[in-house]
Amino acid sequence: MLSPVLLPAASLHTLTRTRSHRVIALRFSRGYAIQAPGAPTLDIFSSQTKWLQKERAAADVQASRDVDYLRDEVASRLCERLLDVNRHFPKVLDLGANACNIARMLTRPSPDSPSSTTRAERLSTLVAAESSQAMLYRDADLPFNQAMEIVRQVLPTSEMLPYEANTFDAVLSSLSLHWINDLPSVLAQVNNVLKPDSPFIGVMLGGDSLFELRTSLQLAELERRGGVSMHTSPLADVRDVGGLLQRAGFHLLTVDVDDIVVDFPNSFALMRDLQAMGESNAVLGREMGAMQRDAMLAAEGIYRELHGNDDGSIPATFRLIYMIGWKEGPNQSKPLPRGSGMISIKDVLEGQTK
């Protein structure tokens, strides 16, 4: 009798098939291990919830305008950065425009040189793209819309840019990138729609934004309920942003941080303002429904004690990360190759101290 080892492979298969169905099923169901194209993305925020929050916030026009203080200030600082670039921009995209805060700030004169004309004359067309229609058209009938050409465009999703490559002379984004799930993909798309040698100038909330609220809610829930639930978003940090821009193919990166501290009478006023901005919690897997009153009551006491100001108000920090990246262009200045420096920095510094 032949030993099974000497049998050809095909007959070995038939042998095993007759013996056990389970073995065969396992062997033939195995496919190739293939890697999905692109990096696997993990959804953190619910874009549906975020859209709903913005629609609801914009439905109450007056309350929504009352809390524009943060977006207007940030948009104004962003516009100053755009005007630092000494050229004319025929077509500019405002990605995640909210209530067109950038457009409104562009139609005002620069605070640095009030005598000069408005900042908008450096632009021809501003395309304001936003997923929430109510938010985008909130201020569509205000006088600033006549001061410059604004094209409003409702995006079906905030993570997909429906534009041709090499369309825009600059892309701006103010306070909306922190709700994007797949930031590398969106930044790569931004890089794609930019013309060569054009800047992307964005600002997002990041780092230790609202750390006071975050810590007091955590302490309150820990003491009251014995566990912590997610009430504030995870945010990108400064060092993440540099890597993200580089990965998206941007050159000549500039990343800087700006803290804006706003004082509120109590923590409920802060939460109400965040809600009116449409910036409520939209993390997937958050606790549904309203927050427990016990936890809010406890958090108010802790916030006041841990972070409160002497005058009885409470501070809320908004950390803004400004990022500037340029799409690669033919005549763009590049860093010199490594080792090509002819002057020793050591000699220069030692010469100064003597």
Q: Does 297 bind other proteins (CB under 8 A)?
A: yes
Site for other proteins in 235-264 (CB under 8 A): none
Query: According to CB under 8 A, which residues from 89 to 128 bind other proteins?
Result: none
Give the pair of three-digit tokens for residue 117: 């004309």
- CA angle, 171 then 176 then 180, to 5°: 100
With CB under 8 A as the rule, give the number of residues binding other proteins. Answer: 24
- Exactly one of 301, 313, 328, 329 binds other proteins (CB under 8 A); that residue is 301
Query: Which of 301/315 has CB closer to other proteins?
Result: 301
Among 30, 293, 334, 346, binds other proteins (CB under 8 A): 293
Q: Which of 19, 225, 239, 247 binds other proteins (CB under 8 A)?
A: 225
| C-alpha R_g of the chain | 27
Minimum distance, C-beta of residue 211 to other proteins, in the bound complex (Å) = 14
In the chain, % helix, strand, coil (3-state, to 5) comes to 40, 20, 40
Q: Are strands 314-326 and 251-264 parallel, antiparallel or unpaired?
A: antiparallel
For 64: left if phi > 0, alpha if psi spans -120 to 50, otherwise beta; the answer is alpha
Interface with other proteins, residue 314, by CB under 8 A: no
Q: Which stretch binds other proteins (CB under 8 A): 45-53, 238-246, 254-262, 265-273?
A: 265-273
Largest CA distance in the chain: 105
28: nearest Cα among 36, 18, 17, 38: 17
Q: 39, 142, 165, 222: which one contacts other proteins (CB under 8 A)?
A: 222
**Neighbouring residues of 142: CB distance < 8 A, sequence distance ≥ 6:** 104
User: Per rule CB under 8 A, is residue 339 in the interface with other proteins?
Assistant: no
Contact set with other proteins (CB under 8 A): 219-220, 222-226, 266, 268-269, 271-272, 293-294, 296-298, 300-306
